[in-house]
A = this chain, B = another copy of it.
């Protein structure tokens, strides 16, 4: 039944030509995220990371392609499945893994954990665990940009399962009414925990919600990081130049369970395999070689560099001191 959600949204024609420089940069980021999360999964299995751990493995092209469309001063607000988003916005693998390990050197000092990564210097605004609750916050960040007449854009990520809850609708309604410079990006990975989208949405096209608010909308497959980058760029510039918000649905897929504790039995092996053929990371590499004519040497070097970066990050996290204080953070004196 869920296979019907496998249809492509659009024809291949919409492929974006492979720009070698841009694509290798984005490939580098996606690979960094992939390896970082693989390391996290391993550490979790070893009991070095606790609580909930939601991996984005398989979805990397969405956060990487979308955030590459931003300027450094732009903002990102995300869900609990946000390791890749933080990394793409500039947070180091060291600071992310140290946070997952509950260390003082973590990006949130070990107080937030996997679901609550925050990085002020990089304008990464979290990391939220209540479904839909972060959407009004993103509208509020965009409200501030309009209030101060800054030409800064806010990207708000959410899952398709989060598009039925009140907070989501209210945040979107206010952004549309007040014309706030925000882009709502739905990472439609077809499942909300064990719930396939056809059991949670009467209209499976999440971007259709834009019609209720007269908001611009777009919708496309998320396996090609260049397509994501190109299409999100259009929306980001619309937000920046015209102060028009956009609702975007990107179809993607998580290769792992909802969280580490989810065996994912609600999906057939075939379905998962089908999607793995469209792995955004290998897709990017293939396009680099076949279309951008990138040479193997360069790619090997890049991959070695990533391997090293993540190994160092794990070592850093393991050797860092544990989180050691929380009282000073409840209130600002």
Contact = CB atoms under 8 A, between A and B. Distances in A.
A176 B203 CA distance: 9
A211 B217 CA distance: 14
Interface stretch (A7-15, A57-65, A161-169, A309-317): A161-169
A92 interface: no
A199 to B, nearest CB: 8
Interface string A209-226: 101111100000000000
B165 A177 contact: no
A318 interface: no
Q: How many copies of this chain sit in the oligomeric assembly? A: 2
Contact of A208 (B173, B202, B212): B212
Interface of A: 164-167, 169-170, 173, 176-177, 200-203, 208-209, 211-215
Q: Closest 4 interchain pairs by CB?
A: A166-B166, A176-B202, A169-B169, A212-B212
25 contacts: A164-B169, A164-B170, A164-B173, A165-B166, A166-B166, A166-B167, A166-B169, A166-B170, A169-B169, A176-B202, A176-B203, A177-B201, A177-B202, A202-B214, A202-B215, A203-B211, A203-B212, A203-B213, A203-B214, A208-B211, A208-B212, A209-B212, A211-B211, A211-B212, A212-B212
